[in-house]
Amino acid sequence: MTAPVPDRRTGGAALAGGLLLAASVGAELVHPVQAPDGSVVSPALFAGYLGLWTLGAAALLVAQLELRRTAGLPGVGRAGAAMSLAGTGLLLVFGLVVVTSALATGAPLEASFLALAIGLLLLAVGSVLLGLGLRRSGAVGGWWAVLLAAGAGALVALLVEQWHDPGMFVFFAAWVLLGVGCIQRSRRPADRVAALVG
């Protein structure tokens, strides 16, 4: 009996989620749109950055839902998937609240950062458990290990202020790599032969 294999939609969603989230954070680093006091100095760009964040979190939710549905996860993996879904849901809420409050008042609602912190904590633990569940199910081959890096990245982003952004990029990159792995493993045998021959 062969292990279940996530489809290309799962991989595409993971890939898009990681890239969109990384683009959102990267854009703010390259061209900041907030003053030191937290006020928004370019509302249109700020909304664009948070739009990318929100789309990325939504895509990541799709990937996690599909993994839970298709990967044949054991109990530890299902627990990890549930925690990851809750954490990513909080990232989505964070994005929506931040952009709405900033456009309405000129600065993001400070309380929204609690959603980000709890989301990162859930993702730090959930990513590791999901990765271990994927290891047991065999659904993504050796790609399960990137979720250990995702968990570490989320934890660093949460706990080490000066390493917040690098930790976030490790988290995003891990989901991009998992997306690539899912797409690669979802290829039909005929596609694999064609790729080798061609």
What would the pLDDT profile of 15-51 be if each residue is shown by its tens digit? 999 999 999 999 999 998 888 877 888 888 989 999 9
Q: What is the pLDDT of residues 127-176, one digit of tens each?
A: 999 999 999 998 888 999 999 999 999 999 999 999 999 999 999 999 99
Residue 67 forms part of a structural domain: yes
Residue 122 forms part of a structural domain: yes
Residue 192 forms part of a structural domain: yes
Measured distance CA(137)–CA(197) in Å, rounded: 30
Residue 121, exposed/middle/buried by CB under 10 A (0-12, 13-18, 19+)?
middle
Residue 3 forms part of a structural domain: no
Residue 177 forms part of a structural domain: yes
Query: What confidence category does residue 198 fall into, taking pLDDT thresholds of 50, 70 and 90?
Result: very low
| Residues spanned by the domain of 27 | 8-197
DSSP letter for each residue of 112-174: HHHHHHHHHHHHHHHHHHHHHHHHHHTTTGGGGGHHHHHHHHHHHHHH-GGGHHHHHHHHHHH
Measured distance CA(194)–CA(177) in Å, rounded: 23
Residue carrying structure tokens 């062969």: 2
Residue 144 forms part of a structural domain: yes
Q: What's the one-letter identity of residue 141?
A: G
The SS3 call for residue 178 is helix
Residue 1 forms part of a structural domain: no
Long-range contacts of 186-193 (CB under 8 A, 24+ apart): 186/5, 186/6, 186/7, 186/8, 186/10, 186/11
- Total domains in the fold of the chain: 1
Q: pTM for the full model?
A: 0.88
Cα–Cα separations (whole angstroms), residue 132 to 34, 73, 167? 39, 9, 20
Q: What is the pLDDT of residues 60-98, one digit of tens each?
A: 999 999 999 888 889 999 999 999 999 999 999 999 999
Residue 104 forms part of a structural domain: yes
Residue carrying structure tokens 């854009």: 27
